[in-house]
Amino acid sequence: MNSSEESAVSAMSAGRPALRMGPAELVQAAAMARRFYLEGKSKIQIAEEFGVSRFKVARVLETALERDLVRIEIRVPAELDAERSDALRARYGLRHAVVVESPPEGEDASPDPENLGEVAADLLGELVAEGDVLGLAWGRSTIHMAAALDRLPPCTVVQLTGVYDAGTAERGSVEAVRRAAQVSGGEAHPIYAPMLLPDPATAAALRNQTGIARAFEYFDKVTVAAVSIGSWEPGISTVHDMLTDEERAHYASLGVAAEMSAHLFDSAGRRVGRDLGERCITVEADRLRRIPEVVAIAGGRRKAAAIGAVLRSGLVTSLVTDTMAADYLLTEFTPGPRPALDRTDPDE
């Protein structure tokens, strides 16, 4: 390349006014760009083909971008917010964060929009591998997710918690486990028992029943789990709704900010009210922490602070949420040092 050609390309690369590209330069730039961006050839291969240095190839490609000969677009489905997803992942040390558009204000007032479950179903399709053990905890969002599943590799599916109401088992957690197992073609291990029992003795007796004990044996084998998050208020936490007024007041006095799988957390992510777990049919927190991938599915402004509290607990590795909750988590909540990735227990 002669000196005048070199200076013209350099000027264009630096963003300074440059000579107009002639037809031969335009054709060559277009050809190089096609080789690099569409055919996947390396700069060295392109340089050999055109008889120039790889440095010139790099400059021509850069110029092609600057002169709008090449346009690079990053496209994701309209309902996904890639920028917020990446920011949330980085801020909380999450393995995966997927943020979907919140429904227009007033259009969907439910605490668990169904689109979260649909996106979570696709995410599980990516994360679960053949031979894995998939654990599903009670929650409206996990039930929506199971209903939306259309692909899963062959895997075993186990229920991680009892149901909100034993009378609704066919429409809740049990059916979610059956649905996931049907899609994957694997075994199902449901739990036919309420999540909350009147006292620890009754809960202990149920845990020893054959079917429930068999499901509990799989807890240490779970490789991917899906859980829901609730804030401590009526209609947003099923555990809150199952308790008496006196019990709610007691746990509120302990600073409960969030609930997940019948485990209670304060705003710092510390577990409180551990006595409640003795009355519940649920996976223990220590076992949850040992599961390699725990995906939480929760969104909405009313749940945003609760989501932050659970992320601080170090029990969750990935999150599917919406833009409303993500904005709160990115601007009004301080996570601490990568709790999700480090799996640290704030109580220790």
The three-state secondary structure class of 45 is helix
pTM value > 0.95: no
pLDDT at 335: 63
Reported as a pLDDT band with limits 50, 70 and 90, residue 8 is very low
Whether 193 shows a pLDDT value over 80: the answer reads yes
Q: Which residues pair with 280 in a beta bridge?
A: 196
- Say which DSSP state 20 is in: P
pLDDT at 13: 37
Whether 187 shows a pLDDT value over 70: the answer reads yes
Kindly state the percentage of the chain with pLDDT values over 90.
49
Long-range contacts from 262-266, C-beta under 8 angstroms, 24+ separation: 262/161, 262/195, 262/196, 263/288, 263/315, 264/232, 264/239, 265/309, 265/310, 265/312, 265/313, 266/309
Choice between 43 and 235, residue whose per-residue pLDDT is larger: 43
pLDDT, tens only, 300-345: 888 999 999 999 998 999 999 999 999 999 988 776 666 677 777 7
pLDDT at 170: 43
Whether 139 shows a pLDDT value over 80: the answer reads yes
Q: Six-digit token pair at 306?
A: 């609760």
pLDDT at 234: 79
- 173-209 as b/e, with b when 16 or more CB fall inside 10 Å? bbbbbbbbbebbebebbbbbbbbbbeeeeebeebbee
Kindly state the percentage of the chain with pLDDT values over 70.
84
- Alpha carbon distance 133, 156 (integer Å): 5
